[in-house]
């Protein structure tokens, strides 16, 4: 859960970081893709997940639901309570929903405790869908420094009848070494690692 000292990044941003973030443009001015000269960052899945549960069911991981702010390859920076921007000249290796979908599949596979898991179109006979929504995937600088914030809402849904088996919100906060794009991407990757591992452990104990 979120630490109360962070307060969802409502502390004021440092002036230097705010200037850097705004150099990348606000959401209203930067709806398109990243620069052709941008540094490309990847997100990784845990190599191994220790889980006590297991399942013989086959799982489907659809693309996560996301608002427009997160539904691109840009790295989001929170510049205020209700304002967002992007790191200039930095982007993910794919649109964020597709990237998180692929990494969640890999995380289930890394557990070694699921019969089969895949994405739509792979021909699996599906038992359970793992439906996700990106609630936050961003960097902000608070009075305590730069912090990566990852929040994913997850529902386990019976594919045969659409009934929700269980639902939960997972989040992680990871401090970044500094307010640069390199450190921000690394912190977001570390936060995602925590969230993905928690999702898989929970799902395997639930279904």
pLDDT in tens, 17-71: 444 444 444 443 333 455 568 999 999 999 888 888 889 999 999 999 999 999 9
Cα dihedral 102/202/186/112 (nearest 10)? -60
In-domain check, residue 26: no
pLDDT tens, position by position, 129-164: 999 999 999 998 777 888 999 999 999 999 999 999
Give Rg (Cα) of the chain.
17
Name the pTM for this structure. Answer: 0.85
4-13, 17-26, 72-81, 87-96: least confidently modelled range: 4-13
In-domain check, residue 196: yes
**Neighbour-count burial for 150-168, b at 16+ CB within 10 Å, e otherwise:** bbbbbebbebeeeeeeeee
In-domain check, residue 9: no
In-domain check, residue 138: yes
pLDDT of 12 over the 70 cut: no
Number of domain units in the chain: 1
pLDDT of 207 over the 50 cut: yes
Question: How high is the pLDDT of residue 140?
Answer: 85
Residue 112, domain CATH: 3.40.50.10610
């Amino acid at each position: 859960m979120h630490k109360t000292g962070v307060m969802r990044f409502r502390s004021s941003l440092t002036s230097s970081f705010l200037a850097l973030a705004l150099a990348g443009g606000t959401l209203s001015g930067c709806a398109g893709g990243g620069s052709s000269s941008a540094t490309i960052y990847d997100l990784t899945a845990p190599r191994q997940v220790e889980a006590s549960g297991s399942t013989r069911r086959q799982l489907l991981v659809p693309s996560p639901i996301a608002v427009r702010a997160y539904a691109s390859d840009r790295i989001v920076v929170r510049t205020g309570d209700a304002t967002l921007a992007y790191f200039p000249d930095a982007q993910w290796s794919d649109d964020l929903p597709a990237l998180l979908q692929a990494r969640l599949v890999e995380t289930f596979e890394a557990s070694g405790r699921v019969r089969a898991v895949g994405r739509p179109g792979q021909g699996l006979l599906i038992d359970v869908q793992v439906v996700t929504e990106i609630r936050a995937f961003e960097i902000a600088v608070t009075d305590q420094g730069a912090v990566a914030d990852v929040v994913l809402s997850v529902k386990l849904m019976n594919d045969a009848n659409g009934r929700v088996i269980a639902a939960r919100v997972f989040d992680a906060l990871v401090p970044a070494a500094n307010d640069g794009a390199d450190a921000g991407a690394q912190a977001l990757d570390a936060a995602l690692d925590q969230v993905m591992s928690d999702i898989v452990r929970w799902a395997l104990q639930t279904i």
